[in-house]
Amino acid sequence: MTDHAAVKAALTRQAIETPSWAYGNSGTRFKVFAQPGVPRTTREKLDDAATVHQLTGAAPTVALHIPWDKVDDYTALAKYAEERGLRLGAINANVFQDDDYKLGSVTNPDPGVRRKALAHLLDCVDIMDATGSRDLKLWFSDGTNYPGQDDIRARQDRLAEALHAVYDRLGDDQRMVLEYKLFEPAFYTTDVPDWGTSYAHCLKLGDKARVCVDTGHHAPGTNIEFIVAFLLRENRLGAFDFNSRFYADDDLMVGAADPFQLFRIMYEVRRGGGFDDGSDIAFMLDQCHNIEAKIPAIIRSVMNVQEATAKALLVDRDALAAAQRSGDVLEANAVLMDAYNTDVRPLLAEVREEQGIAPDPVAAYRASGRQERIVAERVGGEQAGWGA
């Protein structure tokens, strides 16, 4: 039997972090289609994030990317967020957009470049001190394009050295989450290509180092829910970067390409205690909205995560365990599918109404007139964008 009150309580508690960069313009290397009304500053990105949180009740924190969100005073920025009912979330380090990083950042063969990259990572921890952020998100574009280009093993040594230096700088309540990615921009070797590499480094570092699973960073057909189950069992799953992919790192809206996969992941999160009170897993979006309107797309993404979560919470675990124990393969699968095939939209509408928010956040955004207002107000100045 499913305890509906407990399901609702878990849904009410759920917090999904939105990325500052999703509010800005983005595109592919072929074209960025600029949209009117897009934020010109980090503060305007926070204004949009506040709208998403007001309408969903589920997006109280915003991840920053440094230097895309470079400001003079991060304490003041945190205060600005707080005044809008938000908190600043993970600080994403960026050691991939500088000419010096052509051959890598912390794994670069040149010690001078490595020092520069490490200095940036340490600066990010200073920013975390000012913003009150718990997590430093590390993703390295480092790797090689050609066999023989560099010593694969030496690059691991350099990576470990930098990670140790950053780890030692973390405060008691701070963590680092190490993201992996199969390929791109490096095409032959990537220095953190998979969860195993990230996990091995995290294990050596200590308890404050966790793996970040970006759902778009795997080879086609990878069983991501297995990775999630394994890492949760080892207490090493730190964070998710949610998005959808059809082909590679497409960064489409989470739950758009494969909602069933998202459900399977969320079921393992539930199985591993990730929705329990006090769980420390960070649920973050890492997406770009190239052709769709940004704010409603981010609202839709938050709702997609909520829907997958609701379905995962509805799985009748007693019935599932009984079927698994008795080796009833078909029944076990049916129990899981029953939950997946449930229309959870009325349940989520109820949860929202109990929180005093509109049952359909996208419709509420459309009716609010805010899109027209920001288009009228945000004229002049440079629009913020991915990478700017």
The set of residues, in sequence order, having a beta carbon less than 8 Å from that of 359 and lying 6+ positions away, is 348, 349, 350, 352, 353
Least distance CB 286 / ligand LRH (angstroms) = 5
Tokens 């023989």 correspond to 148
Least distance CB 139 / ligand LRH (angstroms) = 4
Q: Among 100, 194, 249, 350, which residue interacts with ligand LRH (rule: CB under 6 A)?
A: 249
- Please, which of residues 62-121 interact with ligand LRH by CB under 6 A? 92
Q: Binds 225, which of ligand LRH, Mn ion, none (CB < 5 to 8 A, cut-off by type)?
A: none
The site string for ligand LRH over 261-290 (x = CB under 6 A, - otherwise) reads: -------------------------x----
Could you list the residues that contact Mn ion (CB under 5 A)?
214, 241, 249, 286
- CA–CA distance, 45 with 84 (Å, rounded to integer): 12
**Helix, strand, coil percentages in the chain from 3-state DSSP, rounded to 5:** 50, 15, 40
- CA–CA distance, 358 with 169 (Å, rounded to integer): 44
State the SS3 of 225-268: HHHHHHHHHCCCEEEEEECECCCCCCCECCCCCCHHHHHHHHHH
Tokens 């520069």 correspond to 116
DSSP state of 299: H
The site string for ligand LRH over 285-314 (x = CB under 6 A, - otherwise) reads: -x----------------------------
- Give the residue with the Cβ less far from Mn ion, 193 or 359: 193
Q: Phi-psi bin for 381: left (phi > 0), alpha (psi -120 to 50), beta?
A: left
- Give the residue with the Cβ less far from ligand LRH, 54 or 190: 190
Least distance CB 286 / Mn ion (angstroms) = 4
Q: Which residue is nearest to ligand LRH (CB)?
A: 139
- Give the residue with the Cβ less far from ligand LRH, 181 or 289: 181
Least distance CB 121 / Mn ion (angstroms) = 16
- Do the bridges between strand 237-242 and strand 61-66 make them parallel or antiparallel, or are there none, so unpaired? unpaired
Q: Please report, for residues 199, 299, 302, 355, the alpha-carbon distance to residue 16 in angstroms, rounded to integers and kept in the order given.
A: 24, 11, 7, 16
Q: Quote the tokens at residue 309.
A: 């979560």
Q: Quote the tokens at residue 342.
A: 């449930």
Least distance CB 214 / ligand LRH (angstroms) = 5
Q: Among 53, 181, 201, 270, which residue interacts with ligand LRH (rule: CB under 6 A)?
A: 181
The site string for ligand LRH over 194-233 (x = CB under 6 A, - otherwise) reads: --------------------x-------------------
- CA–CA distance, 354 with 146 (Å, rounded to integer): 57
Least distance CB 123 / ligand LRH (angstroms) = 16
Contact between 169 and ligand LRH by CB under 6 A: the answer reads: no
Q: Binds 92, which of Mn ion, ligand LRH, none (CB < 5 to 8 A, cut-off by type)?
A: ligand LRH
Q: Phi-psi bin for 204: left (phi > 0), alpha (psi -120 to 50), beta?
A: alpha
Least distance CB 195 / ligand LRH (angstroms) = 14
- Contact, 345 vs 307, CB < 8 A? yes
Contact between 139 and ligand LRH by CB under 6 A: the answer reads: yes
Q: Apex CA 305: angle with CA 336 and CA 273, to 5°? A: 60
Q: Binds 150, which of Mn ion, ligand LRH, none (CB < 5 to 8 A, cut-off by type)?
A: none
Residues in touch with ligand LRH (CB under 6 A): 92, 139, 179, 181, 214, 241, 249, 286
